[in-house]
Amino acid sequence: MFNLSGISSSNAAPRHARVLILGAGPAGLSAALYAARAELQPIVLTGTQIGGQAALTHTIENYPGFPEGVGGAELGDLFQKQAERFGATVEFGSAHRVDLSARPFQIETDSGQYTADTLIIATGASPNHLNVPGEAELTGRGVSYCGTCDGWFFKDKKVVVVGGGDSALEEGIFLTRFASSVTIVHRRDTLRAGAILQKRARENPKIDFIWNTVVTEAVGQDKLTGVRLKNLQTGEERLFPTDGLFIFIGHTPNTQMFAGQLEMENGYIKVDERMRTSVAGVFAAGEAADPHFKQVVVSAGMGAAAAIEATRYLQEMAG
């Protein structure tokens, strides 16, 4: 039995990796590709979603090399196959505790314990919630954070989309494939989303906008029947009947596990230009460490850079 300091022991001996990668989105799988090609036999722990958030996107139109666009899940699958071809191992499992003061690093997961000479954190981000009454109770019963996953359930139904960024417009446009109408509720009267998506959304006959307005309640017993809206300029409140409420109001990085062990800023892991964190041998990539860009291509690039740096670090350690 191996007792990890500060981490509860289990009967199984921990697995050791020269490079352990947390997360199997574009950042984690690109890191795996590069570490595998350096013959470091990386282990990738998938977390909850192979392919990361990108896999929940119906079509990705801005990843270079795919002029007609590529399915998000398909791209994740291609990333994984390419990394595995060179010797990466992708394992289902989520880390829930790490000790970065120990050498090797110690990682406890829902499926066992790992030790690692280098760690690449690519744990991504999770969608923010509105935190209004009814939202939690009606999630999966009309309230959703993923159009690609749940859009099909809203065939010929009315849906409301909250947010004014790229996600809200992209998913809103996607939802018009199924829904009879998509009402985008935004708290300001200016959209944050990029020009192409704005143009497409404004020209789509199934989409309309309600400006300067927030959702204050998700209404319904066993399923959503409406949302309560509040106009921020007039203060007027009203009940707006709808079958679906899709919420796209940004993301929070999945980094809580590293609090107190790594330097962070606004929840994002601080990295230098070489993806190095405040702990030598620990690197971070993708949305867990990227407050600025949040693009698949950027996350993939950060993952590749992190693996190159992890390789250099191991070479330096070996003298």
CB of 250 to ligand NAP, least distance (A): 4
CB of 45 to ligand NAP, least distance (A): 24
Non-local (6+) Cβ contacts of 303 within 8 A are: 26, 27, 28, 29, 30, 31, 32, 34, 120, 122, 285, 286
What is the rounded distance in angstroms from the CA atom of residue 112 to the CA atom of residue 9?
9
Q: Among residues 115 and 255, whose Cβ is nearest to ligand NAP? A: 255
Other beta carbons within 10 angstroms of residue 42's beta carbon come to 29
Catalytic residue chosen out of the listed positions 77, 99, 110, 150: 150
Q: What is the DSSP string of 84-114?
A: HHTT-EEE-B-EEEEESSSSSEEEEETTEEE
Q: Among residues 297 and 314, whose Cβ is nearest to ligand NAP? A: 297
For the record, the structure tokens of 276 come out as 């190095």
CB of 76 to ligand NAP, least distance (A): 15
Q: Among residues 158 and 187, whose Cβ is nearest to ligand NAP? A: 187
**Residues at the contact surface with ligand NAP, assessed by CB under 6 A:** 62, 130, 162-168, 170, 187-188, 192, 214, 248-251, 294
149 is catalytic: yes
Q: Among residues 166 and 243, whose Cβ is nearest to ligand NAP? A: 166
What is the rounded distance in angstroms from the CA atom of residue 109 to the CA atom of residue 126?
19
What is the rounded distance in angstroms from the CA atom of residue 282 to the CA atom of residue 18?
12
272 is catalytic: no
| 104 prior amide bond cis, ω within 30 | yes
Catalytic residue chosen out of the listed positions 149, 189, 208, 272: 149
Do the strands 224-231 and 237-241 form a parallel or antiparallel pair, or are they unpaired? antiparallel
Q: Among residues 93 and 286, whose Cβ is nearest to ligand NAP? A: 286
146 is catalytic: yes
- The residues annotated with a catalytic role in the active site are 146, 149-150
